Amino acid sequence: MAKISASILSADFVNLERDVRSIGQTGADWLHVDVMDGCFVPNITIGLPVVKALRRVTGLPMDVHLMIDRPIRYARQFVEAGADWLTIHIEADTQENNLACLDLIRSLGCKAAIALKPGTPAQAAEPYLQKCDMILVMTVEPGFGGQSFMEPMMDKLKALRTRLDRVNPGCILQVDGGVDARTQALCKANGAEVLVTGSAYFKASDRAAFVKAIQA
């Protein structure tokens, strides 16, 4: 059964506590938090104080996606703020720093993940596969919610699953971007085990039914 990580990027930020508390009530498995710095991606969202505040109002695993430049500078602080899963981008720093960052995250008792932009090939993840608990395949360009799903990314997802089954079978695959009632089936068929959904989740007339349908 797939896990659902509900993205607060599409939540009502005026009533963020209300929306975050409701996510668990609808049966979603994780809380997905997009951190953007206006440098690595062309948008600015939230940072450490919000992550720390969210930790106080939800018991769900907090899935923090760092879309920031040189994430090794802030990894410790985000773990200490309450992240259960911390994802960094391959493209955000050097291989040396990224490997060191993954080691740091895991040493702090947090699950470590690496993300790939749509233009980054599956082969680029090779140096990181055995240091990750999760690989995130972006099915939109990172930076904004509500984008259209890029179906060609399914080949990348499938290739990563095949490779992980050989070198790190315990590592799970996550998909983020344009996941809805239609595209979720494609993601699962190609190896995704965690689906990030924001716009489709918050726009659903019955969020609990939406979650249940995707988890099946």
State the Cα angle at 195 between 118 and 116, rounded to 5°: 25
Distance (Å, whole) CA 98 – CA 161? 21
Q: Please confirm, yes or no, whether 34 is among the known catalytic residues.
A: yes
Catalytic residue among 12, 165, 176, 180: 176
Whether 135 contacts 114, CB under 8 Å: yes
Catalytic residue among 34, 37, 93, 133: 34
Distance (Å, whole) CA 146 – CA 158? 24
Whether 149 contacts 183, CB under 8 Å: yes
Residues in Cβ contact with 138 at an 8 Å cutoff, skipping those fewer than 6 apart: 115, 116, 117, 118, 153, 176, 177
Distance (Å, whole) CA 25 – CA 3? 15
Q: Please confirm, yes or no, whether 103 is among the known catalytic residues.
A: no
Distance (Å, whole) CA 114 – CA 89? 6
DSSP strand pairing (3-7 vs 30-36): parallel
| Structural element, H or E, at residue 197 | strand 194-197
> Which two tokens mark 8?
């607060």
Catalytic residues: 34, 176
